[in-house]
Structure 1
Amino acid sequence: MSTLMNVPKKGGLIQTENHSSDLPTLSSWIDDLFSRDFPSVFSQNFNRGISLPKVNIRESADAYFVEMAVPGLSKSDFQIDLENQVLSISTNKEDKKETENDRYTRREFGYSSFKRSFTLPETVDEGKIKAKYNEGILSILLPKKEEAKQKPPRNIEIS
């Protein structure tokens, strides 16, 4: 499965204390600059790249279900691969918006991509995996092999 590490919003992995004066150091000034939440008016005209999409994974007796929230894309934007029990979901999207006027005052373009990879359990029937994209949600069905499906309890008669 994929592993993510959260880094604190203020500072980095190592924090140092500044006892020498009240003036900020260059490194603390840079940390503050890049960790600051800019107002949406300032940031809305910049590249709207896709951050790593959130994923829900659930298991039933017969299958695993993967749901990924990725609005604003079409099903042709996705690349889903399976190799050596690793399911990879990726997309690359280039967005260009231009005015047809030669003297434009605004020109926007952007590029966004992501890739998520998951190691599948050996119980998944790789030949029966299905995917669909509907209203911003990519859903992947990972059926279990017949021998791995949970059997209902049965009563055994005593002779």
Structure 2
Amino acid sequence: DQVFLLDEICSPETAAMYGPGVCTVSGDAELTTGLSSDTTAVHFGPKSGELRIQLYAIRAASQPRWSLDALAAASRSEGSTLYRSISWGSCGTDCPSDPEDVQAPLSQDFQWAAVVDDLQGSSYVLSQIDALLTLRGADIDLIDIRLPGYDNSYLY
């Protein structure tokens, strides 16, 4: 089973329950409607923008190993690149080192891009509001994220 997360993590209900910092955008990125009017997507404009998700909202990050894919496409003919960075924040020695950033090249066709691939997690991340997953880029439409191999119990 796949868990589709963007609607859940970036919903107004989640922000009301856990605070507005769970899912934020900055720069030339905006939360918008997805494939239908009741779904959420992120549009990264021609200047660089960021989507930040607090890792405690992705319970799979507390497991020994975890992965995350982004369903995205470039909005320009020459393609775009989606960048992923992770900071474990103030977790210290209880969490792994911050991993290297990852680049996922995108075409104009929507595709699942692996942005976290079998990464070490930590149970301490559930109490760290400053541990962040950041996706950034320009000229990209991101319509979902998923956790391969996890069910709904791995949402916040």
Q: Same fold (TM over 0.5)?
A: no
Larger helix share, 1 or 2: 2
Q: TM-score, normalised by structure 2?
A: 0.29
Q: TM-score, normalised by structure 1?
A: 0.29
Rg comparison, structure with higher value: 1
Larger strand share, 1 or 2: 2
